[in-house]
Amino acid sequence: MMDPIALAHPAMLAVDLAVAQAWWSLTVPPLKVLRTLGIGRAKLPKADLTGKVCIVTGANRGVGARTALHLAEMGATIVLACRRGQANAAKTGIIEELRAKKVEVDLNNIKPMELDLLSMQSVRDFADAFKRDFKRLDILVNNAGVSEPGVTSEGYSITFTTNHIGHYLLTDLLYPETDNARIVNVASVFHQYGDPDKWEEAATGRRGDTGPFDVLTHVYADSKLANLMHALDLRRRFTADRCNAVAFAVHPGNCRTDLWRYVPNNLHNAFDKFMRIFFLSPELGCYTSVSAAVAPLDRLREPDGNLARFLQPYWCPVPYVKDRAAHQIGPFAGCQVIGPFAGCQVGTASLPNDVDGALDTLRRVSEQLVADISKKQETHTQADPAAVKAIHPVAATEYPSLAPRDVPIRF
Ligand SMILES: NC(=O)c1ccc[n+]([C@@H]2O[C@H](COP(=O)([O-])OP(=O)(O)OC[C@H]3O[C@@H](n4cnc5c(N)ncnc54)[C@H](OP(=O)(O)O)[C@@H]3O)[C@@H](O)[C@H]2O)c1
């Protein structure tokens, strides 16, 4: 098992951040200047996606909106899977941008659909509607995500349910449609702080996310490790089923998006300034998702020829460290987040020592959670029909210094 001291030690994160910060300060601002001048821009891969059907979850803003735009630009039929009636606005935004760029594609191929990953019924309704309306699925980008403290009214972590459980059920329901498909799980470099032994605790709000920053290194990290392991579990399933689909986990980079809305209000201004200098734009952040979705597979391989398990935007300045426990300790624990950003690179997945055991745990825990959450939500809505509209609105714990959860910050 992993070294618990290495996992929990706050010094580990502090050292990571200090090393990453020093490196970024030296490399990222000069690169930003060069790229503003048009020098050394990373190139998005291009493909003809005419006739292909893609889904992007959380396509109404941030990295998901940019991913959906580029897939639409390549001629795909693109399903914008968004919650709270925002899919139509997402469609309008994409159409405006395509028109402004004078890209000629069939705008009827941009399809808004409702999907709330916190509601298992919404996920099931989405999958049923998708299978009814489309006969194939070529690209599924499991992008939507939050890093939010608190639990739903049924007692499940908002972050873990949105980031992993909802996507797990969605992918499972669409699985029969996925022969030859590519599935892209938008994970994070924070997966390296996740702990497979804590998935159940994370899902049920017992992981100790007492404040917004704890969420990142606890439940968010656990959910992002689950995203990564889910991609590996899908590969295992594809192989067993002799299916040609492939699955990737990607890190978009640290991007200036609403993901960071739960930074306490009094730090927003300072944090926003910090992000303007050091973080990527959502446009640069979508490069790894788009590359995983459309780049030729030969470009997405590890040096040993195997398909990359984890893609990231950064150049890695030190050799691969394959051992997770070793990777967690020492000043280069965070090496994979540092370095100039340059589109899409093969990154180092920080895997649990017992990968097969963790994959089995993930499947067991995920299936149990899908069943438990579905049952609770059903009882909840039967007891209170009004809850159908707002199945998950209240975080049990209040964080008064945080931005109101329903008001987008739009960094
Ligand atoms: N930004 C970063 O630095 C960073 C770093 C590593 C990984 N990531 C990952 O990148 C992905 C995209 O995040 P982002 O940075 O683009 O954040 P963002 O701008 O906040 O976008 C998140 C998207 O997820 C959607 N979403 C949230 N909860 C949902 C739910 N219950 N059902 C359906 N959709 C839901 C949001 O919709 P609403 O508008 O309705 O809230 C929004 O469209 C996430 O998986 C995140 O973990 C981001």
Structural domain includes residue 167: yes
Q: CA torsion sign, 173 to 205 to 263 to 332?
A: negative
The pTM score is 0.90
- Round to whole Å and give the CA distance between 288 and 127: 25
**Å from CA of 162 to ligand 1 middle:** 9
Whether residue 347 contacts residue 320, with contact meaning beta carbons closer than 8 Å, is answered with: no
Determine the distance from the C-alpha atom of residue 182 to the mean position of all C-alpha atoms in its chain, rounded to a whole number.
15
Contact in structure between 69 and 61 (CB atoms under 8 Å): no
227 pocket-lining for ligand 1 (C-beta < 6 Å): no
Residue 402 confidence (pLDDT): 64
Nearest by Cα to 287 from 113, 97, 46, 85: 46
pLDDT in tens, 68-80: 999 999 999 999 9
- Measured on CA atoms in the order 257, 71, 128, 367, is the torsion positive or negative? negative
d(CA 400, CA 157): 18
Q: What number of other Cβ atoms are within 10 A of residue 197's Cβ?
A: 15
| pLDDT(345) > 60 | yes
pLDDT digits (tens, 9 = 90+) for 366-378: 999 999 999 999 8
For range 261-274, the mean pLDDT: 83
User: Rounded distance, CA 292 to CA 307, Å?
Assistant: 11
**Domain that residue 375 falls in:** 7-34+49-388
pLDDT-based confidence at residue 48 (cuts at 50, 70, 90):
very high
Residue 382 buriedness (CB in 10 A; 0-12 / 13-18 / 19+): exposed
Q: What's the gap in Å between 319 CA and the centre of ligand 1?
A: 31
Average pLDDT of the residues in 179-196: 91
Give residue 285's pLDDT band: very low, low, confident or very high (50, 70, 90). Answer: very high
Question: Which pLDDT tens digit goes with each residue over 120-145?
Answer: 999 999 999 999 999 899 999 999 99
Q: What is the pLDDT of residue 6?
A: 46
Nearest to 411 by CA among 277, 313, 224: 277
Q: Active-site residue numbers?
A: 220
- Cβ atoms of 269 and 263 within 8 Å: the answer is no
The two tokens of residue 364 are 């067991």
Residue at 1 is within a domain: no
Is 343's C-beta closer than 6 angstroms to any atom of ligand 1?
no
82, 113, 259: which to mutate for ligand 1, most atoms within 8 A of CB? 259
Looking at residues 151-165, what average pLDDT do you find? 92
Q: Which of 28-32, 290-294, 402-406 has the lowest mean pLDDT?
A: 402-406
Residues 50-64: tens digit of each pLDDT: 999 999 999 999 999
Q: Which residues contact 240 (CB under 8 A, 6 or more apart)?
A: none
Residue with CA at minimum distance from ligand 1 atom 25? 58
For residue 6 the two structure tokens come to 């290495």
- Compute, in angstroms, the gap from residue 220 CA to the centroid of ligand 1: 12
Three-state SS for 292? helix
Higher pLDDT, 20 or 300: 300
Q: Which helix (H) or strand (E) holds 293?
A: helix 287-294
The listed range with the strongest mean pLDDT (21-25, 302-306, 318-322) is 302-306
Amino acid symbol at 166: G
229 lines ligand 1 (CB under 6 A): no
CATH (domain of 72) = 3.40.50.720
C-alpha distances in angstroms, 339 versus 31, 311, 314, 317?
10, 14, 6, 7
Q: Which atom of ligand 1 is nearest to the CA of 116?
A: 32
Q: Is residue 256 part of a domain?
A: yes
Q: Is residue 381 part of a domain?
A: yes
CA–CA separation, 76 vs 103, rounded Å? 13
- Any ligand 1 atom below 6 A from CB of 148: no
Ligand 1 atom at minimum distance from 147 CA: 47
Any domain includes 66 = yes
303 CA → ligand 1 middle, Å: 31
Query: pLDDT at residue 400 above 80?
Result: no
Q: Say whether pLDDT at 387 is over 70.
A: no
Mean pLDDT (whole number) for 296-316: 88
pLDDT of 203-236, one tens digit each? 998 887 667 678 888 999 999 999 999 999 999 9
Q: 395 in a domain, yes or no?
A: no
Considering the domain boundaries, does residue 402 fall inside one? no
What total of structural domains would you count in the chain? 1
| Residue 405 covered by a domain | no
Tell me how far the alpha carbon of residue 313 lies from the centroid of ligand 1, in angstroms. Answer: 18
Tell me the pLDDT of the chain averaged across its residues: 84
The residue whose CB lies within 8 Å of the most ligand 1 atoms, and thus the one to mutate among 146, 250, 274, is 146
Cα–Cα distance, 221 to 343 (Å, whole number): 23
The reply to whether ligand 1 has any atom less than 6 angstroms from the CB of 251 is yes
pLDDT value at 316 more than 60: no
The closest of 45, 319, 335 to 192, measured between CA atoms, is 335
Gap from CA of 186 to ligand 1 centroid (Å):
9
Look at the block and give the residue holding tokens 């996740």. 194
| Residue of 258, 261, 289, 312 best suited for mutating to test ligand 1, as the one with most atoms within 8 Å of CB | 258
Pocket of ligand 1 contains residue 162 by CB under 6 Å? yes
Q: CA-CA distance, 111 to 81, in Å (whole number)?
A: 9
Asked whether the predicted pLDDT for residue 317 surpasses 60, the reply is no
